[in-house]
Amino acid sequence: MAIRSDVAFFGHPRGLATLFFTEMWERFSYYGMRACLVLYMVAPVSTGGLGFPTARAATIYGLYTGSVYAMSIPGGWMADRFLGGRMAVLLGGIGIAAGNGLIALGSESVFYTGLVVVALGTGLLKPNVSGMVGALYSERDPRRDSGFSIFYMGINTGAILAPLLCGYLAQRVSWHLGFATASAVMILGLIQFLGFRSSVAHVGQRPEPRRVGDGNAHAPLTAGEWKRIGAIGVLFVFSAVFWMSFEQAGSSLTLFAEQLTRKNLLGFAFPSSWFQSVEPIFVVSLAPLFSWIWLRAGERQPSSPSKFAWGLASAVIAFCIILYGSTLTTAGPVSPIWLVLVYLFQAIGELLLSPVGLSTTTKLAPRRMVGLMMGVWFFSIATGNYMAGFVASFYRPGAGALLAMFGFVAAITLVSLLILTLLIPFMRRLMGDVR
């Protein structure tokens, strides 16, 4: 039930503030941990790391980040079927805090259990906290989109702050402290969520128990609905390619930052994990520009497949930049500007593709299958993350290997861009009146 008169948080319902901070701390925990993960796995045992070879670290990283998003599907389903959103967020947060606590212990034997527990916890928390944001507004509440934009700012505020704190502690003080901080901030988020639970008391309730034969009785799909589902399928493939390139951030690009980039700012030597804050800084700064452009363009704005294509083009530019940067590594560590530019174009790509993918999926999905299709969208992100880990396992700090690896990413993304461009007229037909 949405309450129109609740305007306590910048004109938005009070519950938005609660969910904003819950997700901010959760993303703080996620991105803080992610900023240290590969560096910790490849660090020699003598410095407290796990001493894994790069290929193994990148593969584990891909499996982990992929599973985090894949687990959103059972996580969303469990909330819908029996837990309710609020309980799912609570249990998920406990899992995230406990899993990071296990990783902070620093022994390889509990490390994997820790990763699994964080992935399960995130699967319970992330889709349901977003679902509850949606439930704060009625379908036709004009504040709905801006509510989600504010929420996206919370995500990115967490993502900006996390590497600065967790990365610094992990790389400069001790790995344990970095992961322990990722656990502690999730506990803060939970305390905040519980303290303000009355503001979300009207959303995310436990569902009524279903009787046998209820639900699932999908009326058969019409031809038009099949076409739209086909359009979601096409977008799935290109979304996976985009996230494959995007998710080099925490793996190969972080190793590039650690091993091949100068890390000095006005005489201060900063840790390589700090580069992870650059992309969300660009997202926060450029998001208002993008909403302004789309508002100005109104009816004349590009269709969603075209925005997808522009997002892929931005990813291609990012990887051309890092290819150029890689050629310079033969003369020693390179300027930080190359990674900053890479993250600028990744942020532009994210802003073009991520919100569009989400909203187009909800618009294309038959009403009775919105939840399932959201799961499909998350699964495309998961697939991209798995592929990203596989690709990053070919990372080696020599110029030849870098050109091959980053070149592969650039080539796959470019080919996908060309195919999608050719498919745009066909997509228009599949999508019918949805743009």
Cβ distance to ligand PHE smaller for residue 374 or 410: 374
Cβ(384)–Cβ(61) below 8 Å = no
**Matching residue, tokens 């990012």:** 318
What is the closest distance, in whole angstroms, from the C-beta atom of residue 72 to ligand PHE in the complex?
8
What is the closest distance, in whole angstroms, from the C-beta atom of residue 150 to ligand PHE in the complex?
14
Cβ distance to ligand PHE smaller for residue 2 or 253: 253
Cβ distance to ligand PHE smaller for residue 334 or 381: 381
Q: Is 120 in the site for ligand PHE (CB under 6 A)?
A: no
Cβ distance to ligand PHE smaller for residue 272 or 380: 380
Q: Is 354 in the site for ligand PHE (CB under 6 A)?
A: yes
What is the closest distance, in whole angstroms, from the C-beta atom of residue 381 to ligand PHE in the complex?
5
Cβ distance to ligand PHE smaller for residue 314 or 326: 314
Cβ distance to ligand PHE smaller for residue 272 or 346: 346
Q: Is 185 in the site for ligand PHE (CB under 6 A)?
A: no
What is the closest distance, in whole angstroms, from the C-beta atom of residue 345 to ligand PHE in the complex?
15
What is the closest distance, in whole angstroms, from the C-beta atom of residue 125 to ligand PHE in the complex?
11
Instruction: Give the start-end residues of each E strand in 179-315.
Output: 264-265, 268-269
Would you mind telling me the total number of residues written for the chain in this entry?
Answer: 435
User: How crowded is residue 353: how many other Cβ atoms within 10 Å of its Cβ?
Assistant: 25
Q: Is 342 in the site for ligand PHE (CB under 6 A)?
A: no
* Cα distances (Å, whole numbers) of residue 364 to 295, 297, 349, 372, 377: 21, 22, 22, 12, 12
What is the closest distance, in whole angstroms, from the C-beta atom of residue 300 to ligand PHE in the complex?
27
Cβ(192)–Cβ(61) below 8 Å = no
Q: How many residues bind ligand PHE (CB under 6 A)?
A: 6
Q: Is 155 in the site for ligand PHE (CB under 6 A)?
A: yes
- Binding test (CB under 6 A) with ligand PHE, winner from 316, 344, 381, 409: 381
Cβ distance to ligand PHE smaller for residue 326 or 346: 346
**DSSP per-residue string spanning 210-249:** PPTT-S--PPPPPHHHHHHHHHHHHHHHHHHHHHHHHTTT
Cβ(21)–Cβ(13) below 8 Å = no
Cβ distance to ligand PHE smaller for residue 69 or 343: 69
What is the C-alpha to C-alpha distance for residues 160 and 107, in angstroms, rounded to an integer? 28
What is the closest distance, in whole angstroms, from the C-beta atom of residue 159 to ligand PHE in the complex?
6
Cβ distance to ligand PHE smaller for residue 72 or 326: 72
What is the closest distance, in whole angstroms, from the C-beta atom of residue 13 to ligand PHE in the complex?
21
Q: Is 278 in the site for ligand PHE (CB under 6 A)?
A: no
User: How crowded is residue 11: how many other Cβ atoms within 10 Å of its Cβ?
Assistant: 12
What is the C-alpha to C-alpha distance for residues 87 and 83, in angstroms, rounded to an integer? 6
What is the closest distance, in whole angstroms, from the C-beta atom of residue 185 to ligand PHE in the complex?
15
Q: Is 27 in the site for ligand PHE (CB under 6 A)?
A: yes
What is the closest distance, in whole angstroms, from the C-beta atom of residue 38 to ligand PHE in the complex?
17
Q: Which ranges constitute the DSSP H helices of 1-143?
A: 14-42, 54-70, 72-78, 85-104, 108-135
Cβ(333)–Cβ(261) below 8 Å = yes
Cβ distance to ligand PHE smaller for residue 55 or 358: 358
User: How crowded is residue 48: how many other Cβ atoms within 10 Å of its Cβ?
Assistant: 14
Site string for ligand PHE, 156-175 (x = CB under 6 A): ---x----------------
What is the C-alpha to C-alpha distance for residues 125 and 419, in angstroms, rounded to an integer? 35
Cβ(79)–Cβ(88) below 8 Å = yes
Q: Tokens standing for 317? A: 């530019």
**Residues of this chain, 31-70, that bind ligand PHE according to CB under 6 A:** 69
3-state SS class at 334: strand
Bridge partners of 12?
9
Which residues of the shown chain bind ligand PHE in the complex (CB under 6 A)? 27, 69, 155, 159, 354, 381
